[in-house]
Structure 1
Amino acid sequence: MRAVVVRSFGGPEVLEVAEVPVPVAGEGQVRIRVEAATVNPVDLATRSGALAEAGLMSARDVVGLGWDVAGTVEEVGPGVTGIEPGDRVIGLSDRLDVPLGAQADQVVLDADAVTAAPAGVSPVQAATLPLNGLTAAQALDGLGLSPGQTLLVTGAAGAVGGFATQLAAARGIRVIAVAGAGDEPLVRELGADLFVPRTARLGEAVRALVPGGVHAALDAALTGAAALDAVRSHGAFAALVAGAAPPPLRGVRVFTHWIYADGARLAELAALVEAGSLTLRVAGTLPLEQVAAAHKRLAEGGLRGRLVLTP
């Protein structure tokens, strides 16, 4: 079978679609025939060597890429209940240091990282949910906001920011969205109550709309101190990338959220998709062999949704 791997770090040219053995599901695991796998910024950071330089993964001869997967269960390992061969599922591979990721013909995941695919959407659409949906939901949980409170979402038109905007609005949280000027209609459709263009000085612009500042910020665009300036004293701030968290000025509780697989929570998000309460966005599809082109396109920026590989 085929799998996307890197044997040395560098630009998109180091990506290889290699022939590898079919993996075997072990205790508590399932093997999935991959129908769709997204390309995310974490894949670019893995391929470039940035994550290894940051000490987040060790050196190995071969590194597999890909976190999100949608597909069909081929094999169920010992001890697995509630999942059967033939089930349509989505799941998340949340480990960096692996020889085989989700960008492959088949992948093995822990059963508790998998849930039934949402009905009524294609595998390509469903594959965009796990990593970005769980990141948004888990970061929101960490912020601990109550209905009626205010949340600044930077990068609100992006994959994580879009999910965060919808999920927060559904909880009764008042969302102030930051995005490009042309994205205002999109983020308002997603549930944003107020809008600030990303070219504005965030602290001043947000405080003009929300006197005293917002209760919390979810910094999907990695704006750091600029977004922190918009948060009121003793508020909360969620950073999503290592090293992107600003100092905890004015008593603001600043934390970096580290995504983790959670099949039960993913099932909740899938139910929201089925109910029409959560929007899945696909920026484009490419065959597995064009993974390098997907990396180049993602690095250019400006995507609204995720690029999806279809093995």
Structure 2
Amino acid sequence: MSRAGTEVALLELPEPSSPGPGQILLAVEAAGVGPWDVLEIDASWDVGLRLPAALGVEGAGKVLAVGAGVTRFAVGDRVLAHEAPLPGGSGFWAERVVINADHAAACPSGLDAAHAAALPVNGLTALQALEKLDLSRGQRLLITNGGGGTGALAIQLAAAQGIEVTATASASAAERLLGLGAMEVVDYHDPQWSTKVRGEFDAALTIATGTAAPALPLVRDGGRLCSLTSDAPAEERGITSWDLYIEPDAAQLARLAEQAADGSLKLAPEPLPLSEGPAAFTQVVAGRAGGKKLVLVPA
């Protein structure tokens, strides 16, 4: 991106500077693409871009250099990270990126670059939302947009805790989500979807824009609602309602990476060459990824 508000395009950018204290320089092996990346374009999300710059706030790579004071990583280590703001002024959709070492997690040997890059934002968002909802085994959770990257991971993490999940998704995604642990999948294309489920959910995690309001009546008195789309409704009936915004967390990311490596957390990345970044961005922002997680791989 060359200047704020312009289209995403391929650019020739200078090499990033050497890592400063507490930072590491990565050779990017794969970088995730998500709907949140559009916020970087219109400056709605200040991630410290210094234009012209590469977008991308998640990825995986190999350490090329370490800054002063970095002891957790050495040259040659493989890591994954969600980073925002970007200390080097440029993001992961490039061949090199500078990040804070404290936000990086070691990449397990059994996790390839595409799967590692697909994990940070979706995984951390799902985990942080579920931790804040604080549900117990046997309690019921409604997840909207269960077929997306965050929703699919939230279903798996919740099901592993014995939480009973009902998810909204397209009919084509139902079999996949049931296989990931959902107890019930409701077709969100049905305008009456909210009347097709049994209410009295202990909590709702709303991931699709505009679903927080119809989800609220389905939550029991004193329950909880977490919105990932900045549209949490006003609290009523003792229901706690809030918007959640992801934070980098290396310890949480390390746990998620181990689960992905041992197969207990399933991902479905679709690697694309870095040259297809603009097209991938357009596809994801328009909601045409079909539940797939697109990742960019430098040549």
TM-score normalised by structure 1 residue count: 0.88
1:33 to 27, 31, 42: 27
| 1:233 alignment partner AA | D
2:70 to 68, 76, 80: 80
| Distance in 2 separating the partners of 1:97 and 1:81 | 18
Residue pair 1:202, 1:227 contacting (<8 A) in 2 also: no
Name the structure 2 match of 1:291. Answer: 277
Task: Label 1:6 to 1:234 Cα distance change in 2 as closer, same or farther (>3 A).
Answer: farther
| Distance in 1 separating the partners of 2:60 and 2:28 | 6
| Distance in 2 separating the partners of 1:98 and 1:71 | 15
Q: How far did 1:57 drift?
A: 6.7
Aligned length: 295
Name the structure 2 match of 1:24. Answer: 18
| Distance in 2 separating the partners of 1:259 and 1:71 | 21
Name the structure 2 match of 1:268. Answer: 255
- Which residues of 2 match residues 210-221 of structure 1 at below 5 A? 210=199, 213-221=200-208
SS of 1:295's partner is: helix
SS of 1:15's partner is: coil
1:157 to 147, 151, 154: 147
Question: Are 1:147 and 2:133 counterparts?
Answer: no
Residue pair 2:34, 2:285 contacting (<8 A) in 1 also: no
| 2:123 alignment partner AA | G
| Distance in 2 separating the partners of 1:224 and 1:63 | 34
Q: How far did 1:120 drift?
A: 2.1
- Which residues of 2 match residues 273-284 of structure 1 at below 5 A? 273-282=260-269, 284=270
1:204 to 177, 195, 200: 195
Q: How far did 1:193 drift?
A: 1.0
| Distance in 2 separating the partners of 1:23 and 1:264 | 27
| Distance in 2 separating the partners of 1:24 and 1:57 | 19
Task: Label 1:206 to 1:98 Cα distance change in 2 as closer, same or farther (>3 A).
Answer: farther
Q: How far did 1:63 drift?
A: 5.0
CA RMSD of aligned residues (A): 2.1
Name the structure 2 match of 1:305. Answer: 292
Residue pair 1:25, 1:108 contacting (<8 A) in 2 also: yes
| Distance in 2 separating the partners of 1:302 and 1:151 | 26
Identity of aligned residues (%): 39
Unaligned runs of 5+ in 1: none
| 1:310 alignment partner AA | V
Question: Are 1:51 and 2:44 counterparts?
Answer: yes
2:225 to 237, 244, 257: 237
Name the structure 2 match of 1:138. Answer: 128
2:241 to 254, 259, 274: 254
Q: How far did 1:246 drift?
A: 1.9
Unaligned runs of 5+ in 2: none
Name the structure 2 match of 1:95. Answer: 85
| 1:294 alignment partner AA | A
| 2:276 alignment partner AA | Q
2:55 to 45, 48, 65: 65
Task: Label 1:50 to 1:24 Cα distance change in 2 as closer, same or farther (>3 A).
Answer: closer
Offset from partner CA, 1:109-160 (integer Å, 9 cap, x none): 1112111113323201210001100000001111111111111111111100
| Distance in 2 separating the partners of 1:98 and 1:204 | 49
Task: Label 1:148 to 1:97 Cα distance change in 2 as closer, same or farther (>3 A).
Answer: same
| 2:22 alignment partner AA | G
Question: Are 1:42 and 2:46 counterparts?
Answer: no
| Distance in 2 separating the partners of 1:246 and 1:64 | 35
Residue pair 1:92, 1:109 contacting (<8 A) in 2 also: no
| Distance in 2 separating the partners of 1:104 and 1:254 | 38
Residue pair 2:24, 2:66 contacting (<8 A) in 1 also: yes
Offset from partner CA, 1:160-183 (integer Å, 9 cap, x none): 000000000001111111101111
Name the structure 1 match of 2:215. Answer: 227
